[in-house]
Amino acid sequence: MFKVQNLLIIWLWLCTKLFTNAFKFNEILSSKMVEFQWPDMETRARAEMNGLYIPGHNVPLGLDRWNDKLFITVPRWKNGGASSLNYVDLKRIGENKSLPLIPYPNWDANTLPTDDNINPSKIINTFRVKVDECDRLWIMDAGKTDVFSEKPALFLPPGIVIYDLKTDQFIRRHHFDEKDVKDESFFTNIVIDTDKDNCDQAFAYITDPNAQGLMVYSYAADDSWRVEHHFFHFDPLNGDFNVGGVNFQWSDGVFGLALSPKNADGYRTIYFHPTASTKEFTVSTEVLQNKTAALSEEKYYQFKFIGERGMNTHSSTSVMDPYSGVIFYSQIQRDGIACWNTKRPLNPESFHLIIHNPQTMVFANEVKIDQDNNIWMMSNRMPQFLYKQLNFDDINFRIFMSPVNDILTDSPCV
């Protein structure tokens, strides 16, 4: 009886701790349905009448912040996606948490082309974006829309689009080489490795979870190459998911990427994991940035398995706090965020769920740390959207924010 009481006390303490941390996480934005800031209501009505805007087909996915702009991506999962890359003005956030999304850099860039003469600055379909230290926005553009239909509409080859955030001007577009794009390729996550003192020496790492690969892009060389490894593949024993009352099976490979600060050799360690997996791996960016080495068979042993996170710890995105060495993980099956201190071995005992809310954080799919060391998270009920139907009488999409130090205070990860 004594042991049972002790376990109950510990369980109650853990629940209190998780919800206490959840309360530290401020709900910045929330909405029942995605709405955009249209030029006027006539334009909105015309778009809806012509099937160019179907409100229930717009679900947000990725985010990142630069100054007063909070970027929010709305992938064109189905037809009727009005604008794929958007932002909200953080200065306008107050009691009203349901602000309309403003297309970035404008409506024209996000309007699908009607002929073959496509401006390279167009944004066809983006899932995630990343702001770098040089005030640039890197956009992974899938180049095709209606991705859940039998015949997606292909407008451009997949690749990277880059904008200057200080001027909102287009910098360049890079298409991936045809040989690096597989039939099942679906490029999603993107992280940037750069230095504000040497902006041209930047690299982007882009995941291809459907085809189990990683793309590397050199800004200086304007060149990209595909890297493949066994560790990029999904774990067949960890492909069953239960989220918000929805059961489904995924076979997503490498997805989460977290970059360390520079090591003594001038390179970073990249921590990565497949979504359909509970294992974590690393590789030095020195291997990825050397095109010859990255494509050679000798690279195999440069990739390291570093540990197991534990049951139901599936994660989409992850991000490292450069000051503490703690990595934060979205926890898509546990409705929250977990953390692990990279100074410790990775195992179920060192991997901690620190924020959890089964009502407001269903499918916590995106986690980022901004230039002011605030952590951001988005939950969006994606499984309900994909496999059932969202109830638009409820709040479906939420964005939370908190200073990293507040989240780490009294955390088991410090």
Residue ranges of E strands in 176-325: 190-193, 203-208, 213-218, 223-228, 240-243, 246-249, 254-259, 269-274, 279-284, 304-308, 318-320
Q: Is 331 helix (H, G, I), strand (E, B) or coil?
A: strand
How many domains does one find in the chain? Answer: 2
Same domain membership, residue 190 and residue 167: yes
**DSSP letter (8 states) at residue 64:** E
- Split at pLDDT 50, 70, 90, the class of 14 is very low
Q: In this model, does residue 127 exceed pLDDT 90?
A: yes
Same domain membership, residue 96 and residue 195: yes
Same domain membership, residue 328 and residue 281: yes
Among 11-20, 237-246, 311-320, whose mean pLDDT is lowest? Answer: 11-20
Residue 164 neighbours by CB distance under 10 Å: 14
Same domain membership, residue 301 and residue 201: no
DSSP assignment of 16-62 equals: HHHHHHHHHSEEEEEESS--B--S-HHHHHHHHHTTS--GGG-----
The average pLDDT across 263-275 equals: 98
The predicted model scores a pTM of 0.93
Per-residue pLDDT reduced to its tens digit, 35-58? 999 999 999 999 999 999 999 999
Same domain membership, residue 211 and residue 243: no
Q: In this model, does residue 8 exceed pLDDT 80?
A: no
Domain finish residue from 168, 195, 228: 228
Task: Say which residue, 222 or 15, is predicted with more confidence.
Answer: 222
Domain finish residue from 186, 212, 228: 228
The average pLDDT across 232-255 equals: 97
The average pLDDT across 326-341 equals: 98
Structure tokens at 194: 């750069």
The average pLDDT across 375-397 equals: 95
Same domain membership, residue 284 and residue 197: no
Same domain membership, residue 184 and residue 59: yes
Q: Which residues are bridge partners to 237 per DSSP?
A: none
Q: Whole-angstrom Cα distance, residue 102 to residue 51?
A: 20
Same domain membership, residue 268 and residue 174: no
Same domain membership, residue 297 and residue 187: no
**pLDDT score, position 148:** 83
**pLDDT score, position 10:** 43
Q: In this model, does residue 9 exceed pLDDT 80?
A: no
Domain finish residue from 167, 193, 228: 228
- End-to-end Cα spacing for the chain: 34
**pLDDT score, position 5:** 53
Per-residue pLDDT reduced to its tens digit, 155-195? 999 999 999 999 999 999 999 999 999 999 999 999 999 99
Same domain membership, residue 382 and residue 321: yes
The average pLDDT across 12-26 equals: 60
Per-residue pLDDT reduced to its tens digit, 70-115? 999 999 999 999 999 999 999 998 877 889 999 999 999 999 998 8
Q: Is 384 helix (H, G, I), strand (E, B) or coil?
A: helix
Q: Is the peptide bond before 403 cis (omega within 30 degrees of 0)?
A: no
CA quadruple 187, 299, 340, 308: dihedral sign: positive
Q: Counting beta carbons within 10 angstroms of the beta carbon of residue 322, is it exposed (0 to 12), middle (13 to 18) or buried (19 or more)?
A: middle
Q: Whole-angstrom Cα distance, residue 157 to residue 236?
A: 30
Q: In this model, does residue 351 exceed pLDDT 50?
A: yes
Same domain membership, residue 358 and residue 401: yes
The average pLDDT across 1-29 equals: 59
Domain containing residue 138: CATH number: 2.120.10.30
Q: Which domain holds residue 329?
A: 1-31+230-414
Same domain membership, residue 279 and residue 217: no
Q: In this model, does residue 2 exceed pLDDT 90?
A: no
